[in-house]
Structure 1
């Protein structure tokens, strides 16, 4: 019969779960920001495509800091193209950060043998017969 985990071990598991969920939350935030910036980049691309076929002296309006500014297409187009280029750089940086965060998350998950509820059932049922010692060592922390 296995000994009950002490209060310190239980706190440790709770801290591990908390840290894991915080890391997952950070990754989700990065992914959401990446999605938002990719959407902004696509909007810039569509506006640039539209303005490229418009006459250069045509008036257009741009919202800056809550103020609508009137300019010509030839004045606005270079600024939009530069903004789209900067958005592209930020998107690439965020993609790298999301990838790094994913690797960090997987390493943390492996280090503490963190599994999700459905995952634990699949491994136990599909893994064949294990000795009781192997079973004890493979038990990890279940996260929903």
Structure 2
């Protein structure tokens, strides 16, 4: 078991970085879902119909035909960021595993508690984004 405080601190920092990435990825997944919902709603609406979009805290009047391509582009960009984050999380996971093995680090309750901890973290992450917010910022009138 590792007892050097700098080794433990480095390991904790690495775990924190991985958790931060997972949290950000979950947040961005929620934004993708919100964008999808708005895009699906606007596809059935007359393209000349006016709608309002929140841009930098300012409500701007546009038409559906102007807003829809921007939403689809935003969704695509967010998806690319999520893919990148997932790759970084996998890389960080491998780095953590190598670090644990190199310094023989054992987690408290490792073994049976480890699998439970991962499922608890996943359900915690899923429940964090349960609020209703409008990330797409579009209002159709």
TM-score range, shorter chain: 0.7 to 0.9
Matched, 1:72 2:63: yes
Q: Which has the larger radius of gyration?
A: 1
| CA positional deviation for 1:37 | 0.7
Q: Distance in 2 between matches of 1:27 and 1:114?
A: 17
Q: Which residue of 1 aligns with 2:107?
A: 116
Where 2:45 maps in the other structure, the secondary structure is: coil
Q: 1:103 aligns with which of 94, 112, 122?
A: 94
CA–CA separation in structure 2 for the residues paired with 1:37 and 1:22: 23
TM-score, normalising length from structure 1? 0.74
Match of 2:42 in 1: 51
1:41 aligned residue: 32
TM-score (norm 2): 0.75
User: Which 4+ stretches in 1 moved above 4 angstroms?
Assistant: none
**After superposition, where does 1:122-141 map in structure 2 within 5 Å?**
none
Deviation at 1:120, TM superposition (A): 7.8
Gaps of 5+ in 1: 1-8, 123-144
Q: Aligned partners of 1:95, 1:58: CA distance in 2, in Å?
A: 38
Going from structure 1 to structure 2, the CA distance change for 1:94 and 1:120 (only over 3 Å counts) comes to: closer
The CA deviation at 1:70 is 0.5
Give the Cα–Cα distance (whole angstroms) in 2 for the partners of residues 121 and 45 of structure 1. Answer: 38
Count of residue pairs brought into register by the alignment: 112
Q: Residue 63 of structure 1 aligns to a residue in which SS? A: strand
**Structure 2 unaligned blocks of 5 or more:** 114-141
